[in-house]
Amino acid sequence: IGLRVLSIVSASLIIARTTDPHDIFLWIVKMGVPYKIAYGLFVALRFIPLMEYEAENIQAAQYVRGIMEQKGGLKGTFTRLANFLVPFIAVGIRRADQAALAMEVRAFGLHPTRTNLRELKFPKNGRIFLAVWALLFVLYATFVNNNIFSAINFVPPH
């Protein structure tokens, strides 16, 4: 189970670090999801690094001002958390309000479809990778179903 979780997390990190969020948005729209829903995911992916940056700024400012004192115990932990969350949530709300205003000014959602500046293309390397990945997945599923790994993972007889 640990290896499965590790593989899911590592695959997610590889996709997040190597794929442009706009390409993910285009792929989701190409799969048939309405562009309003896909854009919500796109904006969420764009906000993650911004909010990490804001969290670092808030923590640095609070350490400089002496607000984040290292008091022990449960009460000190809750105090530090409350002192951090109030400005963090305020920054998040401010950014969301700015994004909503920008979308409203640009008439987002006025038309049922949306045009994009670039077209999503699936390169030859991607097709080869997908074919190899699918082959490896089929082999893995076959091995598991035929209990070929029983020498490694002992399964007691029923």
Residue 29 has a CB neighbour count (10 Å cut-off) of: 20
Q: What pLDDT sits at residue 154?
A: 58
Mean pLDDT of the chain: 82
Higher-confidence residue of 88 and 23: namely: 88
| 21: helix, strand or coil | helix
114, pLDDT greater than 70: yes
Summary count for the chain: helices (H), strands (E): 5, 0
Report the predicted TM-score, pTM, of the whole model to 2 decimal places.
Answer: 0.57
- Cα angle for residues 90, 92, 93 (degrees, 5° grid): 65
Please answer whether residues 26 and 41 qualify as being in contact, where contact means their C-beta atoms are separated by less than 8 angstroms: no
Q: How confident is the model at residue 69 (pLDDT cuts 50, 70, 90)?
A: low
Please answer whether residues 141 and 133 qualify as being in contact, where contact means their C-beta atoms are separated by less than 8 angstroms: no
What is the average per-residue pLDDT within 131-158?
Answer: 76
70, pLDDT greater than 80: no
146, pLDDT greater than 70: yes
130, pLDDT greater than 80: yes
| Proportion of the chain above pLDDT 70, given as a percent | 90
- Distance (Å, whole) CA 92 – CA 37: 20
Q: What pLDDT sits at residue 121?
A: 78
